[in-house]
């Protein structure tokens, strides 16, 4: 055995676990089938702009321990996410707050906004919201549901809002204040120099092999390490023998434009059902339009995101945590108990809609459990 740990996946979970194991004197090898580290938080530099190759990633957390932990690897800027919603050319502030309510209904005070929401909730006759649709209407009323939630959510998840779990929409704050901060988080920002640099620092001094698929030679990889940390899809690990878990995939269409400012904001959501993309990201605004050396950038890079049902051969991005998939996942967990040398972790390994801070917290606690001796 050459290594104590083989870590499959160089994303945040794998990198944090490897870093912690190394710090406790363990020999680690990290492999990834992609040709780069950092998993879905990977950023590539194009014309001085850090492009979020797998979708916009804004670091936000209420967990002081996780925030302090990441400061070792990067200096974070003061970026605060404030997406704009574009509904057929009408622009609204997100998340749902007094600016949104004012634009939607002309209301001026929090009391007027609350009364309007209450009126629409009553009219819809929802007592205990069971689906995303009912949850959304009871949180913000029917008008906002129709213009800012329904089309976007159906594009994003490829399912009707009435067939989706309520928790998905609870991720978004609803505020009776003039606060456009998308997240209820104590800490927020983007690492200066990009996420790839941050993960590079986590992996300093650790053996990493890229363009290496664990499944191409499982027996070999299992033979070189005492234990395996697997951060790929749990159903793929078991060769889908209980059936496929469902995922949403995303296609990114990225363009370099010869203009300094395309849309004036990092994130613009297209919330109608007809526009085929869900959102457009303009990457330079994650760093206030500046290059690493503080200079202005003459060009810009934008990405349109198109959401689709995952099919074999594509990248699985979002677990679909509905009833059917949650039950199937539990059955995979039963199988996983038989794999005594393997720990499953991360967004795909645990089939959880984890944010970055949650993945880091999960990897830290897995490392503490594995390495307690
Ligand atoms: P991943 O980053 O997916 O890493 C897993 C790695 O395993 C991958 O690199 C993969 O190539 C590798 N792998 C899989 N199978 C194999 C195999 N057989 N052999 C070798 N390697 C393999 N979180 C936030 O906090 N803020 C945000 O704004 C945010 N925005 C997001 C936007 C999008 C579009 C998406 C999809 C996610 C977003 N997230 C966001 C969530 C964030 O991306 C995840 O929480 C985090 O990246 C998960 O890290 P991970 O290590 O679990 O998984
Ligand atoms: N959502 C919406 N309209 C928006 C933005 C979000 O209806 O303009 C809903 C949608 O269902 C989405 C959920 O809120 O899946 C959570 O949004 P978030 O931005 O947190 O999703 P993510 O960043 O994970 O793509």
Q: Is 65 exposed, middle or buried (0-12, 13-18, 19+ CB in 10 A)?
A: exposed
The residue whose CA is least distant from atom 12 of ligand 2 is 153
| CA-based nearest residue to 52, from 60, 42, 62, 61 | 42
Q: At what angle do helices 356-370 and 12-23 cross, to 10 degrees?
A: 30
- Say what the pLDDT of residue 321 is: 82
Task: State the closest ligand 2 atom to the C-alpha of 269, by its place in the atom list counted from 1.
Answer: 8
- Whole-number pLDDT of residue 132: 95
Which residue has a Cα nearest atom 16 of ligand 1?
A: 232
Question: Active-site positions?
Answer: 171, 175, 248, 279, 305, 353, 355
Mutation probe of ligand 1 site: the residue of 6, 7, 8, 9 with most atoms within 8 A of C-beta: 9
List the one residue out of 164, 204, 291 whose CA is nearest residue 22: 204
Domain boundaries, the chain: 3-77+192-244+320-370, 84-169
Query: 182 pLDDT band (50/70/90 cuts)?
Result: very high
**Tens of pLDDT, residues 132-149:** 999 999 999 999 999 999
Q: Which of 182-191, 305-314, 330-339 has the lowest mean pLDDT?
A: 305-314
Report the nearest-CA residue for atom 7 of ligand 2: 149
Q: Are 341 and 227 in contact (CB under 8 A)?
A: yes
Residue-by-residue DSSP string for 150-164: IHHHHHHHSS-GGGS
Residues ≥6 apart with Cβ < 8 Å to 286: 50, 52, 56, 58, 79, 190, 266
The protein residue with its alpha carbon nearest to ligand 2, atom 2, reads 149
Q: Which atom of ligand 2 is least distant from the CA of 182? A: 19
Q: Average pLDDT, whole number, for the chain?
A: 96
Asked if the model's pLDDT at residue 312 lies above 90, the reply is no
Rounded to whole angstroms, the Cα distance separating 124 from 137 reads 8
Flag whether pLDDT at 100 surpasses 70.
Answer: yes
For residue 281, how far is its CA from the centre of ligand 2 (angstroms)? 14
Q: Which ligand is nearest to the CA of 182?
A: 2
Average pLDDT over residues 63-85: 98
Mutating to test ligand 1, I would choose from 12, 57, 83 the residue with most ligand atoms within 8 A of its C-beta, which is 57
Q: Please check whether residue 57 is in contact with residue 41, taking contact to mean a CB–CB distance below 8 angstroms.
A: yes
DSSP-assigned letter for residue 288: T
Tell how far the Cα of 153 is from the centroid of ligand 2, in angstroms: 7
Q: Is the dihedral of CA 52, 160, 273, 170 positive or negative?
A: negative
Distance between Cα 11 and ligand 1 center (Å): 6
Distance CA 87, CA 269 (A): 8
Break the chain down into helix, strand, coil percent, rounded to 5: 35, 20, 40
Q: Range with the lowest mean pLDDT among 247-251, 339-343, 361-365?
A: 247-251
Atom of ligand 1 lying closest to residue 57 CA: 28
Residue 279 Cβ < 6 Å to ligand 1: no
**Over pLDDT 70: what percentage of the chain?**
100
In order of 79, 121, 309, the CA distances from 349 in angstroms are 30, 38, 19
Assigned architecture for domain 3-77+192-244+320-370:
3-Layer(aba) Sandwich (3.40)
Distance CA 192, CA 120 (A): 44
Question: Atom of ligand 1 at shortest distance to CA of 213?
Answer: 19
Return the pLDDT at 170.
Answer: 87
Question: How far is it, in rounded angstroms, from Cα 94 to Cα 86?
Answer: 10
Which residue has the least CA distance to atom 20 on ligand 2? 171
Within 8 A by CB and 6+ apart from 217, the residues are none
Q: How far, in whole angstroms, is CA 114 from its chain's centroid? A: 31
CA 247 to chain CA mean position, Å: 13
* Angle made by CA atoms 308, 310, 311, in degrees to the nearest 5: 120
Tell me if residue 43 falls in helix, strand or coil. Answer: strand
pLDDT in tens, 315-336: 899 898 888 999 999 999 999 9
Is pLDDT above 80 for 279? yes
DSSP E strands: which ranges in the chain?
3-8, 28-31, 43-46, 49-52, 59-61, 84-87, 90-93, 187-189, 207-209, 225-230, 247-257, 267-270, 279-282, 300-309, 318-319, 342-344
Instruction: Enter the pTM of the model.
Output: 0.95
Distance, in Å, from the CA atom of 1 to the CA atom of 95, rounded to the nearest integer, reads 51
Please state the rounded mean pLDDT for residues 163-176.
91
pLDDT digits (tens, 9 = 90+) for 238-267: 999 999 999 999 999 999 999 999 999 999
Higher pLDDT, 372 or 31: 31
Give the mean pLDDT of 67-77.
Answer: 98
Mean pLDDT of 78-101: 98
Ligand nearest to the CA of 100: 2
What pLDDT is attached to residue 373?
59
Dist. CA 280 → ligand 1 center (Å): 20
Q: Is 231 in the pocket of ligand 1 (CB under 6 A)?
A: yes
- Please work out whether the CB of residue 52 comes within 6 Å of at least one atom of ligand 1: no
Instruction: Report the percentage of the chain scoring pLDDT > 90.
Output: 93
Under a CB-based contact definition with an 8 Å cutoff, are residues 155 and 307 in contact? yes
- For the residues 194-211, what does the mean pLDDT come to? 98
- b/e sequence 80-115, b meaning 16+ C-beta within 10 Å: bbbbbbbbeeeebbbbbbbbbbbebbebeeeebbee
Assess whether the C-beta atom of 185 lies below 6 angstroms from ligand 1: no
Read off the pLDDT of each residue in 157-172 and give the average, rounded to a whole number. Answer: 90
């Amino acid at each position: 055995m050459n290594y104590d740990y083989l870590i499959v996946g160089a994303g945040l979970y794998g990198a944090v676990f490897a870093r912690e194991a190394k710090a406790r004197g363990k020999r680690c090898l990290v492999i990834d089938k992609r040709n780069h580290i950092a998993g879905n938080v990977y950023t590539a530099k194009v014309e001085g702009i850090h492009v979020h190759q797998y979708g916009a990633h804004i670091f936000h957390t209420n967990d002081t321990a996780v925030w302090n932990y990441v400061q070792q690897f990067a200096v974070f800027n003061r970026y605060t996410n404030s997406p704009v919603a574009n509904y057929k050319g009408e622009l609204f502030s997100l998340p749902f707050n007094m600016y949104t309510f004012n634009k939607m209904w002309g209301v001026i005070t929090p009391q007027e906004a609350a009364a309007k929401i209450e009126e629409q909730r009553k009219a819809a006759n929802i007592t205990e919201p069971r689906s995303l649709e009912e949850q959304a209407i009871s949180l913000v009323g029917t008008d906002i549901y129709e213009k800012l939630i329904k089309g976007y959510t159906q594009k994003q998840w490829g399912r009707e809002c009435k067939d989706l779990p309520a928790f998905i929409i609870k991720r978004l704050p609803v505020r009776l204040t003039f606060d456009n901060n998308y997240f209820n988080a104590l800490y927020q920002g983007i690492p200066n120099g990009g996420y790839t640099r941050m993960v590079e620092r986590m992996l300093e001094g650790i053996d990493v092999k890229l363009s290496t698929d664990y499944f191409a030679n499982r027996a070999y990889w299992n033979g070189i390490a005492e234990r395996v940390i697997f951060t790929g899809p749990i159903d793929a690990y078991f060769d889908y023998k209980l059936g496929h878990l469902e995922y949403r995939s995303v296609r990114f269409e990225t363009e370099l434009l010869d203009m300094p400012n395309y849309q004036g904001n990092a994130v613009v959501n297209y919330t109608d059902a007809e526009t085929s993309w869900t959102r457009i990201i303009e990457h330079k605004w994650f760093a206030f339009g500046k290059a690493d050396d503080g200079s202005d950038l003459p060009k810009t890079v934008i990405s349109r995101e198109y959401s689709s049902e995952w099919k074999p051969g594509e990248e699985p991005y979002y677990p679909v945590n509905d009833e059917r998939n949650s039950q199937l996942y539990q059955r995979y967990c039963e199988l996983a108990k038989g794999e005594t040398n393997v720990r499953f972790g991360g967004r795909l390994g645990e089939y959880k809609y984890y944010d970055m801070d949650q993945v880091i917290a999960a990897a830290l606690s897995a490392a503490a459990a594995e390495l307690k001796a």
